[in-house]
Amino acid sequence: MRRLISFPCEDATLVGTLDEGSSDTGLLIVSGGNEPRMGAHRGQAMLAARIAARGYSVFRFDRRGVGDSEGMNGGWESSGPDIAAALDAFAEAASLARVIGFGNCDAAAALAMFGQEAGCGGLLLSNPWLADEPDALPPAAAIRRHYARKLVDPGEWLRLAKGAVDLGKLRQGLTKIAAPPGPLDETAAPLLHAIEAWGPDAAIIVARGDATGVTFRAAARGHDLAMETIATDSHSYADAMDALERTVLTHLTRAASGGASALHDD
């Protein structure tokens, strides 16, 4: 059963959608960017329906200033109270003992930073965003992967021979990947440390060809972070929803059997 729930967050009223299941473990989906709770191409709504059909309640919500919710949109950096309020409303409505948070891109960053205080028993962090690029080009790791794929494509060599390749863009890309990697910036470093602090309670999922996922994998080298890769270039897993569903269900089943912290009263 799917139903709407409104709940307070500071001085605003937020709106969320609950897909009900029978388990006392549930999945809280936090939206990335300024996306409403349905997600890109309704992906989060479809994922919620699939997970609920397997017995786990799922709650999606619009944070303040987004979609159907009131208030000012302060971006993911100010979403801690929103996540906490949503988790409380979800746990009460679905009678849950534990809640696992799921977020893609900067929603993963938000959960890493604010999920523990909100009461999440564990996290599923998808394509975690670390920082914006200082220029208009994709991250160096994504450019490197892009050109590596083109090098083995005979059609791309033919395009180069015909003069159909933008040599200016090619030069910019090669210059960026040739530059020595710099240290993590003031945004990326604390986010990466926050993810590490979760230890085994946070699972990281990356889309193999997604620029954000590729960048995270490169930045996480040398850090003790286990990652699961899904074979897709889609940031939102538009063509890999079955694989994403299987991965999420695996972790929910593990959490329900005692592999995640239960909710507690302060």
Are 162 and 200 in the same domain? no
Residue 263 inside a domain? The answer is no
Question: 59 and 17 in contact (C-beta within 8 Å)?
Answer: yes
Are 118 and 29 in the same domain? yes
Are 174 and 188 in the same domain? no
Work out the angle at residue 112's Cα, subtended by the Cα atoms of residues 108 and 114, and round it to the nearest 5 degrees. 110
Are 98 and 196 in the same domain? yes
Its domain, for residue 92, covers 2-131+184-257
Residue 19 inside a domain? The answer is yes
Are 120 and 37 in the same domain? yes
Residue 262 inside a domain? The answer is no
Q: pLDDT, tens digit, for every residue of 192-247?
A: 999 999 999 999 999 998 989 988 988 888 888 889 999 999 999 999 999 999 99
Q: pLDDT, tens digit, for every residue of 6-28?
A: 999 999 999 999 999 999 999 99
Are 153 and 235 in the same domain? no
Residue 38 inside a domain? The answer is yes
Tens digit of each residue's pLDDT, the chain (266 residues): 999 999 999 999 999 999 999 999 999 999 999 999 999 989 999 999 999 999 999 999 999 999 999 999 999 999 999 999 999 999 999 999 999 999 999 999 999 999 999 999 999 999 999 865 455 556 666 666 666 666 667 776 667 666 766 666 666 655 645 555 555 566 688 899 999 999 999 999 999 989 899 889 888 888 888 899 999 999 999 999 999 999 999 999 999 998 666 664 44
Query: d(Cα 125, Cα 94) in Å, to the nearest integer?
Result: 23
* Range 155-190 burial, b when 16+ CB lie within 10 A, else e: eeeeeeeeeeeeeeeeeebeebbeeeeeeeeeebee
Are 236 and 111 in the same domain? yes
Residue 108 inside a domain? The answer is yes
Q: What is the pLDDT of residue 239?
A: 96
Q: What is the pLDDT of residue 18?
A: 98
Residue 69 inside a domain? The answer is yes
* pTM recorded for the entire structure: 0.83
Average model confidence (pLDDT) across the chain: 87
Query: d(Cα 76, Cα 15) in Å, to the nearest integer?
Result: 17
Residue 264 inside a domain? The answer is no
What is the CATH classification number for the domain harbouring 208? 3.40.50.1820
Residue 265 inside a domain? The answer is no
Are 118 and 226 in the same domain? yes
> Strand (E) positions, 20-108?
25-30, 57-62, 98-104
Are 70 and 151 in the same domain? no
What's the structural domain count of the chain? Answer: 2
Are 47 and 77 in the same domain? yes
Are 91 and 217 in the same domain? yes
Q: What is the pLDDT of residue 124?
A: 98
Are 30 and 97 in the same domain? yes
Question: 225 and 195 in contact (C-beta within 8 Å)?
Answer: yes
Burial (CB < 10 A; 0-12, 13-18, 19+), residue 25, is buried
